[in-house]
């Protein structure tokens, strides 16, 4: 029997940094200047897709109440693909008026989370996809529908694959240009990741499908590997592992960008992101939020550096 073994991986993966939105939405409001310092450090890593904020009610998510002010500063960094998350057509109008036409609209696959997150059912949320798509397209942008609770819901339990597939199909029919499957509470596992990806791709052929994992139960990077092996080349990650959903009890941080980049680059999968610069950005983020970050790689200090054994000559 042959002992040769190799992972089947793509040559490159496109990482979207979501620390500025998903990473900060559960935090106490971070001052604008500290956010701009985070952005400066993130752009310096080489990442070229950043979900920079969310145009939602400041009462619901106070940490992102400065979305318009953040958007006004983005011309400092040319060449970055900026996007913003919205929850409804009103948010889409605000985003477009602020100069961001690349939009992400959250639609929960389950009614329980949809009502907690957006105050309406899944069907009602889907009814707004067409209007948001038209707003994005009219401004020269695009719409990605992020399907929250794609695998599991904190209120409704396990999400049937058929339910998530139906939501994805309806979103694309209504005008979505791309999809992103969200493991909102960090419960899914590699085999389930692959099964849902296969079902969604069959239902929505030709539509790009990204993934968004949380590391609540320590399976986030394993899920990322499974998705990449299954052909996914667009993944979300958050600097330092910051993040969580304020409307999903128990949800913790996203997969850490530096951990994702570490294993991808070490596996000869190009990301265009510099790991040392990313660790420096994590330090800036840690200072901005004022507490230790959950990323294991960040706490370990990055790559292993050999040291002289105790008692050995220098």
Catalytic residues: 245
Distance CA 60, CA 87 (A): 11
* Run of H or E including 116: helix 111-118
Q: Go through 100-127 and write b for each residue having 16 or more CB atoms within 10 A of its CB, e for each that does not.
A: bbbbbbbbbbbbbbbbbbbebebeebbe
Distance CA 108, CA 181 (A): 10
Q: Which of 65, 148, 52 is nearest to 103 (CA)?
A: 52
Burial of 33 from C-beta contacts in 10 A (0-12 / 13-18 / 19+): exposed
β-sheet bridge partners, residue 117: none
Q: How does strand 152-153 pair with strand 157-158? A: antiparallel
Q: Which residues contact 58 (CB under 8 A, 6 or more apart)?
A: 64, 65
Distance CA 179, CA 140 (A): 18
Distance CA 8, CA 67 (A): 40
Locate all alpha helices (DSSP H) within 181-274, ordered by sequence.
190-203, 220-229, 257-266
Distance CA 90, CA 133 (A): 12
Q: What tokens were used for 57?
A: 């009610």
Distance CA 161, CA 157 (A): 12
β-sheet bridge partners, residue 146: 106, 180
Q: Which of 254, 246, 156 is nearest to 214 (CA)?
A: 254
């Amino acid at each position: 029997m042959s002992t040769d073994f190799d992972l089947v991986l793509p040559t490159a993966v496109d990482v979207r940094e979501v620390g500025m939105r998903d990473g900060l939405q559960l935090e106490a409001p971070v001052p604008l200047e500290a956010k701009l310092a985070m952005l400066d450090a993130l752009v310096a890593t080489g990442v070229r897709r950043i979900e920079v904020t969310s145009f939602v009610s400041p009462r619901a998510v106070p940490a992102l109440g400065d979305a318009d002010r953040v958007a006004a500063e983005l011309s400092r960094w040319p060449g970055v693909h900026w996007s913003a998350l919205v929850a409804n057509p009103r948010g889409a109008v605000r985003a477009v008026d602020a100069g961001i036409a690349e939009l992400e609209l959250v639609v929960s696959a389950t009614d329980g989370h949809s009502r907690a997150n957006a105050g309406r059912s899944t069907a009602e949320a889907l009814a707004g996809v067409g209007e948001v798509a038209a707003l994005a397209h009219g401004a020269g942008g695009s719409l990605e529908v992020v399907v929250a609770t794609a695998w599991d819901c904190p209120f409704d339990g396990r999400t049937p694959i058929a339910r998530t597939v139906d939501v994805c199909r309806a979103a694309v029919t209504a005008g979505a240009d791309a999809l992103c499957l969200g493991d909102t509470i960090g419960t899914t596992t590699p085999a389930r990741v692959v099964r849902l990806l296969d079902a969604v791709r069959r239902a929505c052929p030709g539509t790009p499908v990204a993934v968004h994992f949380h590391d609540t139960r320590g399976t986030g990077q394993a899920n990322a590997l499974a998705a990449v092996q299954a052909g996914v080349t667009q993944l979300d990650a958050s600097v330092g592992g910051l993040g969580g959903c304020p409307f999903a009890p128990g949800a913790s941080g996203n997969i850490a960008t530096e951990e994702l980049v570490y294993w991808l680059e070490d596996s000869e999968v190009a990301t265009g992101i510099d790991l040392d610069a990313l660790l420096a950005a994590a330090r800036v983020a840690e200072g901005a939020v004022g507490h230790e970050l959950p990323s294991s790689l960040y706490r370990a200090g990055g790559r292993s550096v050999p040291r002289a054994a105790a008692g050995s000559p220098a």
